[in-house]
Amino acid sequence: MSDSTYNLDHLTELEAESIYVLREVAAQFDRPAILFSGGKDSIVVTHLAAKAFAPGRIPMPLVHIDTGHNFPETIEFRDNLVERLGARLIVGSVQATIESGKVQEEPGANASRNRLQTTTLIDTIEEHQFDACIGGARRDEEKARAKERFFSHRDDFSQWDPKNQRPELWNLFNGMHAPGEHFRVFPLNNWTELDVWNYILRENIDLPSLYYAHDRMCIRRAGQILAHSDHLNLRQDETPEMMHVRFRTLGDLTITGAFESDADTLEQIIDEVAATRITERGGRMDDKRSESAMEDRKKEGYF
């Protein structure tokens, strides 16, 4: 709280907004869920949900779309968090979607399961009849996301129609929908990357160790550092080497760029984020496929 008695610092104001959004979801929808990726944004959403419904439990399950290419640290972290909160976990498996023959693995060295996730996500939504899926996406991440609503409508094919979004005024959110349609809800819309980090520091929120600098076998590809793993198809000229790195976002092993860093405390990470001149998604191969890569995936039903 700042000097003036009735002024709130901006993190407190953002927190109040997000808690309001989460409670609105619980009140307006029959079968909501939190999409949990194991990344810092979905961890913050889960922390806010725990606060919003305290001392009760979070009244909606966490849904994890497991690509099978996750960092093992992410899975371990997820399971511990779910146990600590007494939350319900639902896992949708991309591997199972592939085995069912619905989608095919991408070929080649840049193969990624990023796009395949969308099918698994939509299947999971249909199977459990979720009518609201809460995500950790933020408007500052990417230009197509700058126009997102808090309550973002999806038709019965899970498609987003960016040119025809419902107007959203004041904090009066309209979650009405026909059967089969659902909403994506983004409580962190107004947060920036730096806000998320400062809030993690202020609230002392646990994060997977991947966010902190550590030693790891990596390769360099197209100006990026990628973690070496069984899921990465090495090219002939690529040799893994030991580096001291950390991750700024956590997606799949195959696409999430690491960078060399010595930041192993939250304070150091915040200083690094504040000083950096590259956007967070600048390390994501999935966004680099074309100028409207994110908009195109979002229309199909991506996170």
Partner 1 sequence: MAAATTPDHNGLLRFTTAGSVDDGKSTLIGRLLYDSKSIFEDQLEAVESASSQKGIDGTDLSLLTDGLKAEREQGITIDVAYRYFATPKRKFIIADTPGHIQYTRNMVTGASTADLAIILIDARHGLLEQTHRHSFIASLLGLRHVVVCVNKMDLVDYNEERFNEIVAAYKDFSSRLDITDIKFIPISALHGDNVVDRSDKTPWYGGGTLLHHLETVHVGADRNLQDCRFPVQYVIRPQTDAHRDFRGYAGRIASGVWKPGDKVVALPSGKESTIDQILVGDTPLDKAFPPLSVTMTLTDDIDLSRGDMLVRANNQPESTQILDARICWLSEAPLNPATRYVLRHTTRDVQAKITEVLYRIDINTLHRVEDDVTIGVNDMARVRIKTASPLLTDGYKDNRSTGSFILVDPSTHLTVAAGVVG
Which of residues 31 and 51 has its CB atom nearest to partner 1 in the complex?
51
Pick one of 157, 184, 189, 261: the residue that binds partner 1 (CB under 8 A). 189
Among 52, 60, 200, 255, interactor with partner 1 by CB under 8 A: 52
> Please, which residues bridge with residue 34 across strands?
62, 134
The verdict on 50 binding partner 1 (CB under 8 A) reads yes
User: What is the Cα–Cα distance from 130 to 65, expressed in whole angstroms?
Assistant: 14
Name the one range near partner 1 by CB under 8 A: 30-38, 53-61, 71-79, 237-245: 53-61
Is residue 171 a contact point for partner 1 (CB under 8 A)?
yes
- Would you say 92 or 136 has its CB closer to partner 1? 136
Of the two residues 6 and 215, which places its CB atom closer to partner 1 in the complex?
A: 6
- Contact residue for partner 1 among 100, 106, 176, 235 (CB under 8 A): 176
Number of residues that bind partner 1 (CB under 8 A): 68
Kindly tell me which of 26 and 103 has the beta carbon lying closer to partner 1.
Answer: 26
To the nearest whole angstrom, how small is the minimum distance from the Cβ of residue 276 to partner 1? 8
Phi, psi of 119 (to 5 degrees): -65, -45
Cα separation values, 27 from 14, 81, 198, 284, Å: 20, 24, 29, 35
222 sits near partner 1 (criterion: CB under 8 A): no
The count of C-alpha atoms lying within 13 angstroms of the C-alpha of 262, restricted to the half-sphere facing its C-beta, is 0
In whole angstroms, what is the distance from residue 201 CA to residue 191 CA? 15
Report the distance separating Cα 134 and Cα 23, nearest Å: 11
Q: Mark residues 130-169: x for contact with partner 1 by CB under 8 A, - for none.
A: ---------xx--xxxxx--------------xx-xxxxx
Using CB under 8 A as the binding rule, the residues of this chain from 229 to 268 that contact partner 1 are 267
Radius of gyration of the chain (CA): 19
Beta carbon of residue 158, minimum distance to partner 1 (angstroms, whole number): 17
Q: How far is the CB of 95 from partner 1 (least distance, A)?
A: 32
Give CA–CA dist 124/92, Å, rounded: 6
**Which positions touch partner 1 (CB under 8 A)?**
2, 4, 6-17, 19-20, 23-24, 26-27, 50-57, 139-140, 143-147, 162-163, 165-172, 174, 176-178, 189-190, 192, 194-195, 198, 267, 270-271, 274-279, 282, 291-292, 295
